[in-house]
Structure 1
Amino acid sequence: MAMTDRRSGDSATVSTAVPARLDRLPWSRWHWMVVLGLGTVWILDGLEVTVVGNIAARLSEPGSGLPITSAEVTGLAAALYVAGACVGALVFGRLTDRHGRRKLFMVTLALYLGATALTGLSFHAWWFFVFRFLTGCGIGGEYAAINSAVDELIPAAYRGRVDLVINGSFWLGAVGGSLLSIVMLDTGVFPAAVGWRLTFALGVVLGLAVLLVRRHVPESPRWLFMHGRGEEAEELVTSIEREVSTSTGRPLEPVDRRITIHQRGAVGFLTIARTVFRSYPRRAALGLALFIGQAFLYNAITFGFGAILTRFFSVPSGHTGYYFAVIAFGNFLGPLLLGRLFDTLGRRPMIAGTYILSGLLLFGTAWLFGRGSLSAVTLTACWCVVLFFASAGASSAYLTVSEIFPMETRALAIAFFYAVGTAAGGISGPLLFSRLTETGVVGDTVLAFGIGAALMTAAGIVAAFLAMPAERRSLEDIATPLSAAS
């Protein structure tokens, strides 16, 4: 299993079985540690984002301790958060490919925690805006660093379901955030100027716990051997194999598959761009379609959901958290229950199916809403069913772009498609949907639903033609590394 090394010009050519050794591992406690260390940060993101949306009305009230309007929280602050996520994804995605997964997933979590803590100390609107932007930078960087690390550490047979559940765990945090906001908005429990600050503090405490677990997650052995640290990669995989074998009580099967590469340093940005768009144009079109489709669908439903409930169904603003907790739970159940099928039935039918079905269901919901056939409860039930499928599809977008491009481009590819999709749906989306849902006109809200449904359905049709059969395949088989020896 040792790595062989020979010199070719100025670079070393190495033959290694590291990818095959990682992919043939059975599931073990070590993999659970990776999931807990890397994946649980999405729970914090869901908690924090949902709380901010739910406490917007309270922040705008006299006595909140922050001179800010509800529109500024849900409009400008939300757009700055998304803009920060786009910037963070691109900057930290590039650094992740250059300096390694581990360094960056520690840095991005530290930035996220620090900015979240300082948001809770806001006494001026500009301070709140600045640290919402920086919080977004941290979470954008997390998407690039975490997804690339997870896919390179998890065995091929489990990669799809694990990636989906990790990305879908955002909605567990959203459930907690929805219920937590109910308590924090109760001035009988906390003063108006204190409760919202404590929600940010709680997020920091939970994040520190994640940081303690994350310290034990190693660098990606795939990244190590690609960057001239072959001996370290071999030693790391050997220690992982020893731990897995001990915890499962099963001997590991021998591996005879090897890959030969020319070890190299960081790949230039132009090389990455040329690879993604010139060498893999169909895959690039797929990634853009998936990210833009899911971003607009989610904005169509979740942006202004509280305003829809209060305006059209007279739901008290302090009770909207209960409704959002229901749809958030439906969001998590989708990846949890459907994730296994992405590894068994296959990527193409599941990606296309979840996108198209969620789009068609949202069209149906829009029609029922336009007819006046829904109540607050039945609308929430419809949203829950739509998002059960949409969440699995949206999570598969991150899985897709993290596995269909060469390893040297992986983190930046995730960052790029996340940034473009998020900018399209997460910046223009709120500006568009806030105007449509705040008019109080039923037809405008129906139009908002229709736009999200149409783009989601179109993305599913694209996936039906372009999605890759990546299930149970090694990452190196799906996309040959740029460094691979011919």
Structure 2
Amino acid sequence: MREPNAAGTRPDIATGGTAFETDVPARLDRLPWSRFHWLVVVALGITWILDGLEVTLVGSLAGAIHDSPRLRLTETQVGLTASAYLLGAVFGALFFGRLTDSLGRKKLFTVTLLVYLVATIATGLSWDFWSFALFRFLTGAGIGGEYAAVNSTIQELIPARRRGVTDLSVNGTFWAGAAFGALGAVVLLDPAVIDPELGWRMAFCIGGALSAIVLLLRQWIPESPRWLMTHGRPEEAERIVRDIEARVEADRGPLPPVEGRPIRLNRRGHTTIREAATTMFRTYPRRSVLALVLMACQAFCYNAIFFTYALVLTRFYGIPSGDIGWFMLPFALGNLLGPLVLGHLFDSIGRRVMITATYALAGLLMAATGYAFAQGWMSAVGQTAAWTVIFFFASAAASAAYLTVGESFPLEMRAMGIAVFYAIGTGIGGVAGPALFGALIEGGARENIMWGYMLGALLMLIAAATEWRLGFAAERRSLEDVAAPLSSAGA
């Protein structure tokens, strides 16, 4: 094993500051998979489980919340509370994403989890539509901030050769949370077990209990060495990498040699919003268009269909609200399996081919299912089976959208880039979707809902075409190779 280079500094006349060389990225990328990486995945990946839990709880509990003697929400109000959650996620992503790039990954993934913990428990104490919507907004703010802080940290700590499959699999665990939420709803809405009015309120405590446990695990996750090195703190980055190498070597034995040459960086101040915007829209305009299209299209389809599926089951198929969880469960499992089964292909076959294929397949199948629904050809079981197959592919596609955004931009603005496109995509596609479908369902016409499904299918096909035209190769490449840091010498 080659001895790691201590990060050295020397005066840099061209920049008027100091420059240094570091092999931190190469050393992190060459590490074998170990218990340290599992800790990162579990402690940080819980974000997607919590988000899946929240989305499924509201979907599965929609009937009980609608019938609550204190809340009595209409179908449109149920859709609006889903939109409030997503608006909160947009706000949280932008606000906390900015802080993540300026203050560090570790501080923010602690703060955002605390925001989520308090807000989700408060949701169970709601007394009317406005209080419920407010607490859903704050819960979404915590989750949105988590996406920016956690996505950037995971990508910066996972070796390049495993980044694709790991990122997709972690994003896919959203559906483990969804399955957990569906099962929890079945139990907590069973009148033989508990009063449904109390049950739906207790359901929101599940996420709070999980996040309290995860707070303890996160104390063992270090600050991202890549964030430190691009913020002029190479000595701290060096110390943390040595600690990580020691933990991995104790677990897996002697480490492989470091490949490639060190990179040379300039010490610099924080990245301004103007500099981030210039980088996104002038330096990388094609990647920005791609990120926007992928995020917005998948957000519309997922949030529109998933947030309102319980209403479809109760209104058009007569499924009791207490049984909704049984229909959400296979839907969730299909979504979970998609990234797990297909994820490794994004590292071997490549991003461009796999992202195009998964978006296109999901769009075509969604159009066919929408037409079958309008014609009344499917039962509740058949409808659920169709969505399970569709979102097997759509789940991998959606996870790849987050992967693409994270890989598209330099390290100094990675969290902000994730936050901006998550916020824009969710704002365009996610907030409008549940409100639109809630209104269509309340209208009671299958044909109108079909056109909503057709719109979702069209958007997925547009995303597939955009990926084929603008997609770029990032598989098995270091983050610094895909997008050079802003602090790179000569940048």
Aligned ranges for residues 95-244 of structure 1 at < 5 Å?
95-244=99-248
1:381 to 369, 385, 396: 385
| Mapped contact 1:299–1:452 kept (Cα < 8 A) | no
1:52 to 42, 58, 64: 58
Aligned ranges for residues 238-387 of structure 1 at < 5 Å?
238-387=242-391
Tell me which residue corresponds to 2:489. 485
1:28 to 29, 34, 43: 34
Instruction: For 1:356 and 1:124, locate their aligned partners in 2 and report how far apart those are by CA, in whole Å.
Output: 41
Alignment coverage as a number of residue pairs: 484
Displacement, 1:469? 0.5
- Any idea what SS the aligned residue of 1:372 has? coil
Instruction: For 1:248 and 1:224, locate their aligned partners in 2 and report how far apart those are by CA, in whole Å.
Output: 26
| Mapped contact 2:62–2:310 kept (Cα < 8 A) | no
Q: Letter of the 1:20 partner, please give it.
A: A
Q: Letter of the 2:384 partner, please give it.
A: T
Q: Deviations over 1:211-267 (max 9, x none)?
A: 111111111000101112111101110111111111012333134421101111211
Displacement, 1:127? 2.6
Instruction: For 2:149 and 2:140, locate their aligned partners in 1 and report how far apart those are by CA, in whole Å.
Output: 14
Percentage of pairs with the same residue: 51
Aligned ranges for residues 52-91 of structure 1 at < 5 Å?
52-61=58-67, 63=69, 66-71=70-75, 74-91=78-95
Instruction: For 2:329 and 2:363, locate their aligned partners in 1 and report how far apart those are by CA, in whole Å.
Output: 22
- Any idea what SS the aligned residue of 1:97 has? helix
Instruction: For 2:68 and 2:384, locate their aligned partners in 1 and report how far apart those are by CA, in whole Å.
Output: 31
Instruction: For 1:470 and 1:140, locate their aligned partners in 2 and report how far apart those are by CA, in whole Å.
Output: 25
| Mapped contact 2:291–2:405 kept (Cα < 8 A) | yes
Q: Letter of the 1:334 partner, please give it.
A: G
Q: Letter of the 2:192 partner, please give it.
A: G
Query: What is the TM-score when the length of structure 2 is the normalising length?
Result: 0.95
Q: Letter of the 1:380 partner, please give it.
A: T
Displacement, 1:407? 1.0
Q: Letter of the 1:421 partner, please give it.
A: G
Instruction: For 2:16 and 2:388, locate their aligned partners in 1 and report how far apart those are by CA, in whole Å.
Output: 57
Instruction: For 2:369 and 2:133, locate their aligned partners in 1 and report how far apart those are by CA, in whole Å.
Output: 35
Instruction: For 1:316 and 1:196, locate their aligned partners in 2 and report how far apart those are by CA, in whole Å.
Output: 15
Instruction: For 2:58 and 2:164, locate their aligned partners in 1 and report how far apart those are by CA, in whole Å.
Output: 31
Displacement, 1:91? 0.6
Choose 68-77 or 462-471, whichever is displaced more: 68-77
Query: RMSD in angstroms over aligned alpha carbons?
Result: 1.5
| Mapped contact 1:89–1:141 kept (Cα < 8 A) | yes
Please list every run of 5 or more consecutive structure 1 residues that lacks an aligned counterpart in the other structure: none
Instruction: For 1:243 and 1:180, locate their aligned partners in 2 and report how far apart those are by CA, in whole Å.
Output: 37
Displacement, 1:300? 4.2
Q: Deviations over 1:158-208 (max 9, x none)?
A: 001111111111111111111111111122211233212221222211111
Q: Letter of the 1:236 partner, please give it.
A: I
| Mapped contact 2:58–2:307 kept (Cα < 8 A) | no
- Any idea what SS the aligned residue of 1:7 has? strand
Choose 194-203 or 286-295, whichever is displaced more: 194-203
Displacement, 1:72? 6.2
Instruction: For 1:251 and 1:444, locate their aligned partners in 2 and report how far apart those are by CA, in whole Å.
Output: 60
Q: Letter of the 2:207 partner, please give it.
A: G
| Mapped contact 1:297–1:452 kept (Cα < 8 A) | yes
Instruction: For 2:412 and 2:258, locate their aligned partners in 1 and report how far apart those are by CA, in whole Å.
Output: 27
| Mapped contact 2:79–2:307 kept (Cα < 8 A) | no
Instruction: For 2:123 and 2:441, locate their aligned partners in 1 and report how far apart those are by CA, in whole Å.
Output: 28
| Mapped contact 1:277–1:284 kept (Cα < 8 A) | yes
Tell me which residue corresponds to 2:426. 422
Q: Letter of the 1:272 partner, please give it.
A: A
Instruction: For 1:254 and 1:466, locate their aligned partners in 2 and report how far apart those are by CA, in whole Å.
Output: 32
| Mapped contact 1:97–1:409 kept (Cα < 8 A) | yes
- Any idea what SS the aligned residue of 1:12 has? strand
Instruction: For 1:385 and 1:62, locate their aligned partners in 2 and report how far apart those are by CA, in whole Å.
Output: 33
Instruction: For 1:196 and 1:308, locate their aligned partners in 2 and report how far apart those are by CA, in whole Å.
Output: 19
| Mapped contact 2:76–2:438 kept (Cα < 8 A) | no
Displacement, 1:387? 0.1
Instruction: For 2:143 and 2:426, locate their aligned partners in 1 and report how far apart those are by CA, in whole Å.
Output: 12
Displacement, 1:312? 2.6
| Mapped contact 1:300–1:451 kept (Cα < 8 A) | no
